[in-house]
Amino acid sequence: MIKQKYKGIFYIILSAFSFAFMFAFVRMAGDLPTMQKTFFRNFVALFFAIGILKKDHIKFKVEGKKNNAVLFVRAFAGSIGMIFNFYAIDHMVLSDASMLNKMSPFFVIVFSFIFLKEKLTAFQVLTVVGAFVGSMFIMKPSFSNVDFIPALLGFLGGMGAGLAYTCVRYLGQHGVKGPIIVAYFSAFSCLVTLPFMAFDYHHMSLAQTLCLLGAGAAAAGGQFSITAAYTYAPAREISVYDYSQIIFTTILGFLFFGDIPDGWSFLGYVIIVTMAVLVFLYNNFWHMQEDTAEKAKQ
């Protein structure tokens, strides 16, 4: 059991490493429209997803009107979240954009309460509020702050990802297989961004093409790794290790782009990661002790 957990930790850190490189490749692609970058990232992922569907002989079919509706919301929210996130990557310090995207687990808590009717404890409310405060230190809302709009879009991108992951949670609970969800999302994102790219296509050099292909490959690697991670260990035991991505993006941002987050951003990082660690401790220790005590009373 312990070995399984260690495998889960390894794969989730590998996922964080892969997604950090996806961020870096997107930025390295240079001055290309956000929609064009999003299209190529998802076009590569679509091929990976179709390959898995064929390999595992999975039919691209979803039963039930509600499942289809939730699948659409997942694809729509995920696409909007990715577009906003990619815009933030191009206009912010890389690690700032990455950390705002990591607000998604806290939005999952909120959206799971609203849409899935999952119980929301006072402790969870406090961690969500704490994470929001941390995000404000990164965003630094001010009309004089030229990075505020990209930061706001990065924040909204994390919100979109949170809604998308909530939908994935619902779909997984109702028998929709992962490769179908990924293929649907990738195809939907390609269709949404294709018209924008057709009207505002920028010629790409070989280096830019390779960067976008690299972004797609890194994203696929991250997706497969995180899927493997959660097959070896439950999310509550390993999800906190996903925040290692901030270490990787900070290093890559400095090495490739000379990005150095300011003091306020670092404070925001500390607050958000602290909230994530508290959620981890609550899910694995404190909450379990409360349940044990409650059962003992009964």
Neighbours of 197 (CB within 10 A): 18
Amino acid at 1: M
Q: Which two tokens stand for residue 297?
A: 């009373």
Angle of helix 2-28 versus helix 245-257 axis, rounded to 10: 30
For position 223, what pLDDT does the model report?
78
**pTM for this entry:** 0.87
For position 198, what pLDDT does the model report?
87
Q: Which two tokens stand for residue 114?
A: 């609203």
Neighbours of 142 (CB within 10 A): 9
Q: Which two tokens stand for residue 50?
A: 């179709």
For position 236, what pLDDT does the model report?
67
For position 288, what pLDDT does the model report?
58
Q: Which two tokens stand for residue 100?
A: 């705002």
Distances in whole angstroms, Cα of residue 121 to Cα of each of 21, 72, 127, 141, 220: 35, 29, 10, 29, 34
How many Å is the Cα radius of gyration of the chain? 19
- Kindly give the residue spans of alpha helices, DSSP state H, lying in 205-262: 206-232, 235-238, 245-257
| pLDDT tens across the length of the chain (298 residues) | 667 888 888 998 999 999 999 999 999 999 999 999 999 999 988 988 899 899 999 888 898 999 999 999 999 999 999 999 999 999 999 999 999 998 988 998 899 899 988 888 889 899 999 999 999 999 987 656 667 899 999 999 999 999 998 898 888 888 888 888 889 999 999 999 999 988 999 999 999 999 999 999 998 888 778 877 877 877 667 878 889 999 999 999 999 999 999 999 999 999 999 999 998 888 877 665 555 545 545 5
Q: Which two tokens stand for residue 189?
A: 């994102």
Please give the Cα distance from 222 to 294 (Å, whole number): 39
